[in-house]
Structures are given as structure tokens and as C-alpha cells.
């Protein structure tokens, strides 16, 4: 397991080394990139006994495979045998898809603000649904109060 974690760090360093110049063009410096990039090796992430391809990787009979994430958004799978050019193409293809879908934001501060606003909107929508519940009979009033309490507990 420790070997896998050590390999994850080496792969992360390799990914950062290959993409840092291009990411700097987006205003993301290397220290920030180190915080936002995550690498998960298949042999660490999955059970070796449950997946044949992971078992083969663990035994050294197949090249290692890992997943690369930016802000917890999947960008690509990398294989041990991938060239530097292939690594860069795979990463930026996935990065672009995440960016176009709105899941990846370049400005971390704006992303946090958007996430907070979305959470606030969801909370208000839940409140609106509860407020719209009928409460003309005593049973409906009790049910509405119970639902309000459940929503309140889940939001805390």
C-alpha cells in the first residue's frame, strides 16, 4: 500500500511537471496546482482481489493505471506506458470537458462563491416546498411540522 501511495506522488509530480506551464497561462501557479490535482492509482483505489485488471497491475503483469482529478473532477486515466505528449493531451481533453460543463472553475474563489450560492438556492427551494404543503387539517399541520423539523435537522 505504501508503495502505491509513493507511486501516486511520483505520478502527480510528473503530471504537474508536464502541465504547469500551460496551467500558469490560466493563472494557476504550481503551488495551487499541487493543491488542486489529485492522482489515484487503481491498486490503491480498488480491491486487488475483486478486479482482475487491478490484480494484474499489482503483480506487475500489466502497466499501472491511475486517475487524475482537478478539484475532485475526473480529467483522465493515465497508463504507465503513456508518453508525455499523450499525458498532456489526455489531461487537457478531460480538463476542457470539465470546464465546459461548469464543474471545473479556474478561479477557486469564484467557484466557492458559486457553490455557496447553489447550496443557498437548494435550501430556499426546500423551504418553499415545505411551505407549499397543505395544512388545512390538524393531520396536515402535524405532518408539515414534522417535515419542517426533518428539513431543519438535515440543514444543520
DSSP letters of 55-113? HHHHTTSS--EEEEEETTEEEEEEETT--HHHHHHHHHHHHHHHHHTTS--S-HHHHHH
Residue 82 is placed in which grid cell?
503513456
The count of residues in the chain is 156
* 104-126 burial: b if 16+ Cβ within 10 Å, else e: bbeeeeeeeeeeeeeeeeeeeeb
pLDDT of residue 68: 94
* Better pLDDT: 84 or 126: 84
Find out whether 46 and 61 touch, Cβ atoms under 8 Å. no
pLDDT of residue 36: 92
- Whether the per-residue pLDDT at 3 is higher than 60: the answer is no
Which residue's entry shows cell 488542486? 36
pLDDT band (50, 70, 90) for residue 61 = confident
pLDDT band (50, 70, 90) for residue 4 = low
pLDDT of residue 150: 82
- Whether the per-residue pLDDT at 110 is higher than 80: the answer is no
Helix axes 138-155, 108-131, angle to 10 degrees: 170
* CA pair distance 53, 62, nearest whole angstrom: 8
**65-81 confidence digits (pLDDT tens):** 889 999 889 999 998 88
pLDDT of residue 1: 44
Find out whether 57 and 79 touch, Cβ atoms under 8 Å. no
- Please report, rounded to a whole number, the percentage of residues in the chain having pLDDT higher than 70: 96
pLDDT of residue 86: 93
pLDDT band (50, 70, 90) for residue 127 = confident
C-alpha pair distances (Å), 52 with each of 39, 49, 56: 21, 7, 6
* Better pLDDT: 38 or 124: 38
* CA pair distance 90, 97, nearest whole angstrom: 11
Amino acid at each position: 500500500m505504501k508503495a502505491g501511495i509513493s507511486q501516486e506522488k511520483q505520478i502527480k509530480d510528473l503530471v504537474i511537471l508536464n502541465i504547469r506551464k500551460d496551467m500558469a497561462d490560466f493563472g494557476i501557479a504550481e503551488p495551487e496546482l499541487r493543491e488542486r490535482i489529485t492522482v489515484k492509482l487503481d491498486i490503491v483505489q480498488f480491491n486487488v482481489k475483486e478486479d482482475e485488471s487491478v490484480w494484474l497491475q499489482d503483480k506487475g503483469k500489466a502497466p499501472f493505471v491511475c486517475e487524475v482529478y482537478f478539484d475532485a473532477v475526473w480529467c483522465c486515466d493515465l497508463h504507465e506506458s503513456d508518453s508525455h505528449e499523450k499525458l498532456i493531451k489526455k489531461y487537457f481533453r478531460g480538463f476542457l470537458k470539465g470546464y465546459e460543463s461548469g464543474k471545473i472553475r479556474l478561479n477557486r474563489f469564484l467557484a466557492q462563491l458559486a457553490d455557496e450560492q447553489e447550496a443557498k438556492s437548494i435550501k430556499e427551494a426546500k423551504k418553499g416546498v415545505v411551505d407549499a404543503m397543505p395544512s388545512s387539517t390538524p393531520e396536515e399541520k402535524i405532518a408539515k411540522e414534522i417535515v419542517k423539523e426533518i428539513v431543519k435537522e438535515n440543514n444543520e
